[in-house]
Amino acid sequence: MICFIPLALLLISSAYGTGEFSVLNHAPSLLFKGHDVLKESNLKEVYAACLGFSTEHFSNWRGLYLSNPFEVAHAIATIYVDGVSDIGQQKGHHFPLNTDVAESKIYKSIERRIGEHYPEQPTNLVRIHLSNGLEDIRKYSIFENIITANTKQLNHKILKLDVEEDRQFLKECTILKEIAAKVVEGSITVDDVPDVFWFEVGSFHPLVDFYGENSSQVLEAKQILNEVILEINAAFKKLYDGYVLVSVITSDASHTRKGRSILQNQNEKADEPISDKTKYNLASYYNKDYPVIFNIILWFGIMMLFSLIAISLAIGNMDPGRDSIIYRMTSTRMKKDN
C-alpha cells in the first residue's frame, strides 16, 4: 500500500497535459474574469471573439465577456512556450489550460478566419519558430532589419553561453527582444485588417530536461523570458493603442505524455489528448436545441401511441352490420347477391 500511493499519484499527475493561458493586455471592451479551466481546443474561439468574429463552436467557458462588439482587438500577439506548465508571470489574468490539441491548429484557425473575412486585403500574419533563429525572421519584411541576435543584451548570471541548451534559449529571448525593438520603431503599419503575431519558444523544453524544472538555471530562464515578454507586451500595446490581445500560452504536454506512455499500455498512443469528460467523469455535452427536439419527439411519440390504441379499440368494437362500411363492402353475402 505504501508503494502504491506514489505510483497512483504519478499516474494522475502524468495523465493530463497541464498549461496556462495568460492575458497580459486586451481591448477595453473585453473582460476576462474568473479562473475557469480552458481547453486549448477552445482557444481559437476565444481569439475569434476577441477579434469580433462569430464563433463556430459553442463553449460553456465563462472567462471572457464582450461589452462592445465595435471595440474589439485589432491584433493578436501570442508567445507560446513549450515544455513548462507556467513561467511564473505575475502580470495579467491567468487561466488553467487543458492542452488537448496542437498549438499549430489554433494559429491556422485564426489565419483561415481572417482570410475568409478579408480575402482581398493584405494583413500581417506572422508565425515565427524562434528555435529556427533568423531563418524564420527573414520570411517577413517587417523584421528584415534584424540581422544578428546578440545575447549580450540579456542580463544572465547562471546560464552559460558555452552550454548548448543555455545558448539556444538566450538566442531565442534575444530575437524576441529585437522584435520588440522593431515594433517600437514603427516597422509595422496599422490598418483596419486584424494582424496576428505568433512566436513559439522551443528552447525551454530541452532546458527543463537538462537541468530540471526547479533548478536555478530554469528559474533564471523564467525571469529572463518574463522580462522579454513584458517588452513585447509594451511594444504591441503602444503600436495598437491598447487594442491588441497580448497573451502567453504555456504547455507541459510533451513531458506528461512521455510519462504516460511509460506507465500505460504500450499500444496506446502517447500523444492522445485527454478530454474533460474523461478527466472529471462528466456526462456528454448536448446542443442547446436538444431539450426542444427531445420534447417534440417525446410528446409526438406519446400522442401517436395513444392514438393507435384508441383507433385499435374503436375498430375492434365496431358493429359489422351497422357501423362499418368495410365489413359491408367485403361481405361474401353481398357478392353472391350481385
Q: What DSSP designation does 54 have?
A: P
**pLDDT of res. 11:** 39
Whole-number pLDDT of residue 265? 45
Torsion of CA 294, 298, 301, 306, to 10 degrees: -170
Nearest to 87 by CA among 205, 219, 254, 245: 219
| pLDDT computed for residue 329 by the predictor | 62
pLDDT value of residue 183: 93
- Tell me the three state secondary structure of residue 193: coil
Residues sharing a CB contact under 8 Å with residue 177, sequence separation 6 or more, in sequence order: 153, 154, 228, 231
State the pairing for strand pair 18-25/93-98.
Answer: antiparallel
DSSP assignment, residue 16?
S
Query: What is the reported pLDDT for 333?
Result: 55
Using DSSP bridges, classify how beta strands 64-66 and 75-82 pair: parallel, antiparallel or unpaired. Answer: unpaired
Mind listing the pLDDT tens digit for each residue in 170-204? 999 999 999 999 999 988 989 989 999 999 999 99
Does residue 92 come out as left (phi exceeding 0), alpha (psi in the -120 to 50 range) or beta? left
Give the three cell numbers for residue 161. Answer: 553561453
pTM for the structure as a whole? 0.71
pLDDT at 201: 94
Closest CA to 185 of 153, 147, 143: 143
Distance CA 260, CA 219 (A): 26
Distance CA(186)–CA(242), nearest Å, equals 15
SS3 string, 236-301, reads HHHHCCCCEEEEEEEECHHHHHHHHHHHCCCCCCCCCCCCHHHHHCCCCCCCCCHHHHHHHHHHHH
SS3 string of 88-135? CCCCCEEEEEECCCCHHHHHHHHHHHHHHHCCCCCCCEEEEEHHHCHH
Q: From the first residue on, what is the mean pLDDT of each consecutive set of 10 residues in the chain (338 residues)?
A: 40 57 95 92 93 85 89 95 91 92 91 91 92 86 79 86 92 92 90 94 92 93 95 96 96 62 44 51 67 91 94 80 59 52
Query: Residue 250's closest CA among 30, 98, 45?
Result: 98
Cβ neighbour number for residue 249 with a 10 Å cutoff: 21
Give the model's pLDDT for residue 330. Answer: 58
